[in-house]
A and B are shown apart, each in its own frame.
Chain A
Amino acid sequence: QLSLFRLTVKRPFSTSHSSVDEKEMKKFQLLAHKWWDEEGEYSALHSMNDIRVPFIRDTLLSMSSNYLRGNPLSGVKILDVGCGGGLLSEPLGRLGASVTGIDPLEDNIRTADRHKSFDPVLAKRIQYKSSSLEEIVEECMETFDVIVASEVVEHVADLETFIKCCSQVLKPEGSLFITTINKTQLSYVLGIVVAEKIIGIVPEGTHEWEKFVPPEELEHILESNGFSVKTVKGMLYNPLSGSWSWMESTSLNYAVHAVKSGAQGWSGPTDTLSETDIQQSSATAGTA
């Protein structure tokens, strides 16, 4: 796996076909050292692990018949896009997965590398690379079993390109997990005004409401790029307790699980995990 990442030449970011947004990068640059302070600026992302890791883990376990309890994700190749300081990569690595974490910001990768280096098990299971998604597509065609793009799609410049690239590096019938923020009045009031400017649980300027993605739009892009949307669930953050929970409504934060269609069309297993918020009728489109 390491041999795939011997790119030493840093290509400048192309404007029209890249999903990386320069302005977004600058925002995260300033906070590159704060990732691992559980009580600091990224505390909400730390506590989001309490629901997003079980979501990923249980979805994958329910889809596989080979249930190795001690190491639930053993043998699974995961790409963590926009991995930041590695907050999500590490728990996935601890559960046995081989994780490749990519982030366009070198300082983030440096922080992530340093943090995993103290744990020999994680150091082996996780590889970090400072890169955009497009830059790895060529060597990583159909390489990964799973892609996680958590709190990323609201920062990319071109969502269509992003999803296309996800499809290219994902194996057929592989899973894509996305968590992001809906574009609603409520998400403007709570997600930006309250979260950033009033309570300050998200560093100010992190999010731009214009770039929030409604689930309908995300589903449309996914379905038109060869994905079958299996689950859409609303997420809610309680700033008093500092914890996340699932909820019916997707008007604020939400999570999506989609599966890339296989070579011969695919009838996926019923999602037994929890209530599905919006089931597209094309969810069963895979059956031949």
Chain B
Amino acid sequence: SGAAMAAVLGRGLLAPVGARVRARVRVRCGPRAPLRSAASAAPLYDVVVSGGGMVGSAMAAALGHDIHFQDKKIALLEAGPRKEYDHMPDSYSNRVSSISPGSATLLSSFGAWDHVCSLRLKPFRRMQVWDACSEAMIVFEKDDLDDMGYIVENDVIMSALTKQLDAVADRVEVFYRSKAVGYTWPLPSHSCGTSPWVQIELADGRRLQTKLLIGADGHNSVVRKEAEIKNIEHQYDQSAVVATLHLSEATDNNVAWQRFLPTGPIALLPLSDTASSLVWSTSHEHASELLAMDEESFVDSINSAFWSNINHSDFIDTAGAMFRSALSLLKPSGTGVRQLPPSVAEVDPESRAMFPLGMGHATEYVQHRVALIGDAAHRVHPLAGQGVNLGFGDIACLAHHLSAAAFNGSDLGSLKHLLKFETERQRHNVSLIAATDVLKRLYSTRLAPLVLLRTWGLQATNALPPVK
């Protein structure tokens, strides 16, 4: 894991202080840019975003609403068809995201958060995380009783983003059913005669040119592969099972619950006073079993996962209890009140699904005229509830640098400001991705020493706000 961590540190973080990164000559073996006459027919955009998911759409919307991009041409390429989100079905979708307050701020910066609020979302005030092998628990709560975050269906976010893209249709052109099949990279800047722009070929033969290509095309990013950017990746031996659940009784339901089982974390994310969304990361075999079993057994499994003490051992319990009483001598109020999670009554039919989990990190986020954001740059285990928030953080950072570059009259594809984005985001993302990976591995075991370690670690962390 140490070697992997060093590898994921990426470019630049290990460079000596003050050293200027020279020699950006990245020799790519792909097809060369065509001569000017052939290329001049293809329309030229200032920015093309490849991938119309939550992160790609939000990136295009953020730039489209930016004051310094008023006269710029932006294109968003989405392989799928345009979805109409005009009215939300009564039942909840099984794909939800935990949106941090920072992400909410980004979305409201271009008017999308208002739409989300007018559709539906569930704020939560508190997060309780605990270990199935001991009593150890950690509670996250904001002192000022503000919302810690929001559980929002992905469809709701997409609906809001689509509305805001429509609002700037004069600047942002969205190409649906337009999969990019080939990218042609420009030669280094001092060669004349060939087009300096990135050439994009679509599946239907249409061509585009752009000064900056932003890859938001997911963890199997084609942009990243074509740019020959090395990706550190690892498939976890886990899949996530998602479902929409109905609670036994109505409750305030403003707590997000996560319990670390030896097989993986199970999380219950509130959707409303009577419904919650399930994200259960477990082995592939167990995930398949969960999908195959009848609805009653499925509900029983969930309740048992949250309530059963079957994984406790007397030794751990005693050791944990002793540690806790020692802690309470030092900091009486620090251990937090343990709430009890709600019990589940039924599962929405047809709402069960599973998808494999993995981690990934691109060693570079940028090259001349290329930037990666979202899962194309980094893929993380859902246990931290961070996935899409990292992507939104990428957008906030990149949009900030591009806006400043546009206001300076700079060439948008210039590495100078792209590297600033990369440095800022790698610094932020790497530690989080590494920590999430470590947590995932630490909690995937019943071995007593490791259980004790994480038990005490969790209890101590819960008692000490700065560490938390």
Q: Which residues of A contact B (CB under 8 A)?
A: 33-34, 36-40, 47, 49-50, 53-54, 57, 69-72, 90-96, 111, 114-115, 117-120, 240-242
Q: When the two chains form their complex, are residues A240 and B19 in contact, meaning their CB atoms are under 8 A apart?
A: yes
Q: In the assembled complex, which residues on chain A have CB atoms less than 8 Å from the CB atom of B67?
A: 69-70
Within 8 A of A (CB), among B248-267: none
Within 8 A of A (CB), among B377-411: 406-411
**Nearest CB of chain B from residue A48's CB, rounded to whole Å:** 12
Interface membership of B179, Cβ < 8 A: no
CB < 8 Å neighbour of A37 from B20, B36, B44, B189: B189
Q: In the assembled complex, which residues on chain A have CB atoms less than 8 Å from the CB atom of B19?
A: 240
A interface, over-half SS = loop
Q: When the two chains form their complex, are residues B407 and A72 in contact, meaning their CB atoms are under 8 A apart?
A: yes
Q: When the two chains form their complex, are residues B24 and A39 in contact, meaning their CB atoms are under 8 A apart?
A: yes
A-B contacts counted at CB < 8 A amount to 70
Q: When the two chains form their complex, are residues A95 and B195 in contact, meaning their CB atoms are under 8 A apart?
A: no
**Nearest CB of chain A from residue B135's CB, rounded to whole Å:** 53
Q: When the two chains form their complex, are residues B409 and A91 in contact, meaning their CB atoms are under 8 A apart?
A: yes
4 more A-B residue pairs beyond the given contacts A36-B192, A94-B410, A95-B407, with a C-beta to C-beta distance below 8 A: A53-B409, A90-B411, A111-B192, A118-B195
Q: When the two chains form their complex, are residues A92 and B414 in contact, meaning their CB atoms are under 8 A apart?
A: no
**Nearest CB of chain B from residue A107's CB, rounded to whole Å:** 12
- 1/0 per residue, CB under 8 A from A, across B196-219: the answer is 110000000000000100000000
Sort A-B residue pairs by CB-CB distance and give the 6 closest, nearest first. A70-B70, A91-B409, A37-B190, A94-B409, A95-B409, A240-B18
Interface membership of B467, Cβ < 8 A: no
Interface membership of B23, Cβ < 8 A: yes
How far apart sit A90 and B71, CA to CA, in the bound complex (Å)? Answer: 16
For A38, give the chain B residue with the smallest CB separation.
Answer: B189
- 1/0 per residue, CB under 8 A from A, across B61-73: the answer is 0000001111100
Q: In the assembled complex, which residues on chain A have CB atoms less than 8 Å from the CB atom of B415?
A: 38
Q: In the assembled complex, which residues on chain A have CB atoms less than 8 Å from the CB atom of B20?
A: 240-242
Q: Which residues of B contact A (CB under 8 A)?
A: 18-20, 22-24, 36, 44, 67-71, 188-190, 192-193, 195-197, 211, 406-411, 414-416
Q: In the assembled complex, which residues on chain B have CB atoms less than 8 Å from the CB atom of A53?
A: 408-409
CB < 8 Å neighbour of B190 from A40, A92, A96, A242: A40
How far apart sit A92 and B407, CA to CA, in the bound complex (Å)? Answer: 10
Residue contacts A-B, CB under 8 angstroms, 27 given: A34-B190, A36-B190, A37-B190, A38-B414, A38-B416, A39-B22, A49-B408, A57-B407, A69-B67, A69-B70, A70-B71, A71-B70, A72-B407, A90-B409, A91-B408, A92-B409, A94-B409, A95-B409, A96-B71, A114-B192, A114-B193, A118-B195, A119-B211, A240-B20, A241-B18, A241-B20, A242-B20
How far apart sit A117 and B195, CA to CA, in the bound complex (Å)? Answer: 10
For B36, give the chain A residue with the smallest CB separation.
Answer: A118
Q: When the two chains form their complex, are residues A119 and B44 in contact, meaning their CB atoms are under 8 A apart?
A: yes
Q: In the assembled complex, which residues on chain A have CB atoms less than 8 Å from the CB atom of B71?
A: 70-71, 96
**Nearest CB of chain A from residue B409's CB, rounded to whole Å:** 3
How far apart sit A50 and B407, CA to CA, in the bound complex (Å)? Answer: 11
CB < 8 Å neighbour of A36 from B70, B189, B408: B189
**Nearest CB of chain B from residue A59's CB, rounded to whole Å:** 14
How far apart sit A33 and B70, CA to CA, in the bound complex (Å)? Answer: 33
Q: In the assembled complex, which residues on chain B have CB atoms less than 8 Å from the CB atom of A50?
A: 408
How far apart sit A118 and B415, CA to CA, in the bound complex (Å)? Answer: 19
How far apart sit A91 and B190, CA to CA, in the bound complex (Å)? Answer: 18
Q: When the two chains form their complex, are residues A91 and B410 in contact, meaning their CB atoms are under 8 A apart?
A: yes
Q: When the two chains form their complex, are residues B409 and A93 in contact, meaning their CB atoms are under 8 A apart?
A: yes
How far apart sit A72 and B68, CA to CA, in the bound complex (Å)? Answer: 9
**Nearest CB of chain B from residue A280's CB, rounded to whole Å:** 30
Q: When the two chains form their complex, are residues B44 and A49 in contact, meaning their CB atoms are under 8 A apart?
A: no
For B186, give the chain A residue with the smallest CB separation.
Answer: A118
Q: In the assembled complex, which residues on chain A have CB atoms less than 8 Å from the CB atom of B411?
A: 90
Q: In the assembled complex, which residues on chain B have CB atoms less than 8 Å from the CB atom of A242?
A: 20
How far apart sit A94 and B414, CA to CA, in the bound complex (Å)? Answer: 14
For A118, give the chain B residue with the smallest CB separation.
Answer: B196
Q: In the assembled complex, which residues on chain B have CB atoms less than 8 Å from the CB atom of A240?
A: 18-20
**Nearest CB of chain B from residue A120's CB, rounded to whole Å:** 7
**Nearest CB of chain B from residue A242's CB, rounded to whole Å:** 5
**Nearest CB of chain B from residue A142's CB, rounded to whole Å:** 26
Q: In the assembled complex, which residues on chain B have CB atoms less than 8 Å from the CB atom of A92?
A: 409
How far apart sit A38 and B22, CA to CA, in the bound complex (Å)? Answer: 10
Q: In the assembled complex, which residues on chain B have CB atoms less than 8 Å from the CB atom of A94?
A: 406, 409-410
How far apart sit A70 and B71, CA to CA, in the bound complex (Å)? Answer: 6
**Nearest CB of chain B from residue A89's CB, rounded to whole Å:** 10
How far apart sit A37 and B410, CA to CA, in the bound complex (Å)? Answer: 15
Q: In the assembled complex, which residues on chain A have CB atoms less than 8 Å from the CB atom of B69?
A: 70
For A97, give the chain B residue with the smallest CB separation.
Answer: B409
How far apart sit A93 and B71, CA to CA, in the bound complex (Å)? Answer: 13
**Nearest CB of chain B from residue A95's CB, rounded to whole Å:** 4
How far apart sit A40 and B408, CA to CA, in the bound complex (Å)? Answer: 21
For B190, give the chain A residue with the smallest CB separation.
Answer: A37
Q: In the assembled complex, which residues on chain B have CB atoms less than 8 Å from the CB atom of A49?
A: 408-410
Highest count of chain B CB atoms <10 Å: which of A39, A50, A241:
A39
Q: In the assembled complex, which residues on chain B have CB atoms less than 8 Å from the CB atom of A111?
A: 192
For B25, give the chain A residue with the smallest CB separation.
Answer: A39
Q: When the two chains form their complex, are residues B68 and A120 in contact, meaning their CB atoms are under 8 A apart?
A: no
Q: When the two chains form their complex, are residues B410 and A69 in contact, meaning their CB atoms are under 8 A apart?
A: no
Q: In the assembled complex, which residues on chain B have CB atoms less than 8 Å from the CB atom of A93?
A: 409
**Nearest CB of chain B from residue A68's CB, rounded to whole Å:** 9
**Nearest CB of chain B from residue A153's CB, rounded to whole Å:** 23
How far apart sit A115 and B189, CA to CA, in the bound complex (Å)? Answer: 10
Q: When the two chains form their complex, are residues A120 and B44 in contact, meaning their CB atoms are under 8 A apart?
A: yes
For B24, give the chain A residue with the smallest CB separation.
Answer: A39
For B69, give the chain A residue with the smallest CB separation.
Answer: A70
Q: In the assembled complex, which residues on chain A have CB atoms less than 8 Å from the CB atom of B188?
A: 37
**Nearest CB of chain B from residue A64's CB, rounded to whole Å:** 16
**Nearest CB of chain B from residue A99's CB, rounded to whole Å:** 11
For A110, give the chain B residue with the smallest CB separation.
Answer: B192
Q: In the assembled complex, which residues on chain B have CB atoms less than 8 Å from the CB atom of A37?
A: 188-190
How far apart sit A117 and B189, CA to CA, in the bound complex (Å)? Answer: 14
